[in-house]
Amino acid sequence: MRTALASLVTGVLLLMPVPASAAASLPATAGPSATALIAGTADPLATALDRVLADGRLSGATVAVDVRDTAGTVLYQRDAGRRVLPASNQKLLTAAAALEVLGPGYRFRTTVRARGGDLHLQGTGDPTMTYARYDRLAAAVARGATRRFPGRLIADDTWFDRVPLGLDWSWEDEPYGYSAPVSALTFAANDRFDAAAVELRYRGVAGGRPVLTVWPPGAGVRLLDRTVTGATDTVTAVRAHGTGTIVVAGSVPAGRQGAALVSVPDPAATAARLFRAALRRHGVTVSGRTIKGSTPPDARVLTAQTSPPLTEILPSFLKLSNNGHAELLVKAMSRASVPTRPGSWPTGLTAAVTALRRLGVDTRLLTMGDGSGLSRRNWLTARQVTTLLLAARRRPWFPAFHAALPLAGDPDPMIGGTLRNRLRGTAAAGNLRAKTGTLTGVDALSGYLTDAGGRRLVFAAVVNGSPAPATAVLDGLAVALAQSGTRAVTTRARWVQPRVS
């Protein structure tokens, strides 16, 4: 009788679901999933994911995966508690923190003020200030009572500190648009709101040299043209370090068009150039030179431009993985948390971590070196990411956050984003909404999807140190999740340390 009773109790234990709280205490493993069954029928989800992650392209890599349902029940884990570099999955944390600290309706503001003959252009980090919006700002000044200013144009970027680049960003990245300087007075190259960068546009011409143009015009950069018309598109555009000279080289076929983003060395100075040119177009004269400085408190407001609310900026930020937006939001969070001091990375990141802790993320293993994921001082766990994704579902801003994530396989850049060319024709297409992440040696994919049984899942998958790009493997994981769902609950008896071969 005692033996029969023990067998019955053991059988009941084998069928118990794994609660999130229990799973959170499981140790990290380097081998097969920690949620594998030790008795009974193998879990089909764990079997499928273990098969995907057995790919030779992951040989020697650290693979961190956490999969849960929306109740928080752990369905699959592999090294979910191990600290990994997130690359642009860091933007999930920054976006959620900004929505908490700044609020969904937060707007940046660019203001024009006047005092003693000087005209002040005062920024607060608005990444949506395009050429057209600077033109509208100038037109509003022209409609005012004064069209001649005998003093100077003063570019005020003091809302943030003047540390333009992340302290451990690679110096090799400095010329490129994805690593542009961060400034409170900035501008956008295009309607995708690529901040502090110009768009170098090129077009191949039959029987002649390629045509090069810079947008926005009047940005103050100089082109050194070494391009030729050729059979393939090999054009590169690199700004010489510490200068405004862009070296454009390579070939482009006749009739072919393309573009490259190149950062500018001083966004505030470029923004002031664009504004001065716009004033001139509208008949407004500023006689003095352009300098940098702060705006006196008693300067009279002439006009202002406000950005769309944060919820409307999120799609450009998350779908297109815009690094500049992340860092501007970090410094905006700094200014919001300590209004009397210029926005900075240290204060903004502290505010972000505090907000994430309030959302229920265990921040003891979290290190934030920046907001975008460029820094290699960012460390987090897959478990922290899924905890955040679950917590986001309970916040009033979740619909905007969810909609701002790339939708797998949709070719529209403002819908599919960084997933627009991935997962087409699979069960994840039109289903998966997730943030991608890529650095040298790092691939990540984390987000939401619905499986074949209608169960809503959240997951985080981060690969560090793989000898080959792991994008295809992570796509396979997403497809396996989307195709799963024949069983509503993953069951297991107890955790066992898998053998490491």
Residues tagged active-site: 88, 91, 321
CA gap 383, 78 in Å, rounded: 10
308, two tokens: 């769309």
Q: Which helix (H) or strand (E) holds 304?
A: strand 300-306
Do 101 and 336 form a contact (C-beta atoms < 8 A)? Answer: yes
Q: Torsions phi, psi of 355, nearest 5?
A: -65, -40
CA gap 103, 353 in Å, rounded: 16
CA gap 209, 454 in Å, rounded: 56
Q: How far is CA 459 from CA 77, 85, 485, in A?
A: 10, 16, 14
Q: How many CB atoms lie within 10 A of CB 168?
A: 12
CA gap 239, 83 in Å, rounded: 35
Do 333 and 351 form a contact (C-beta atoms < 8 A)? Answer: yes
Residues 6 or more apart in contact with residue 308 via CB below 8 angstroms: 107, 128
* Biggest alpha carbon–alpha carbon distance for the chain: 101
CA gap 34, 29 in Å, rounded: 7
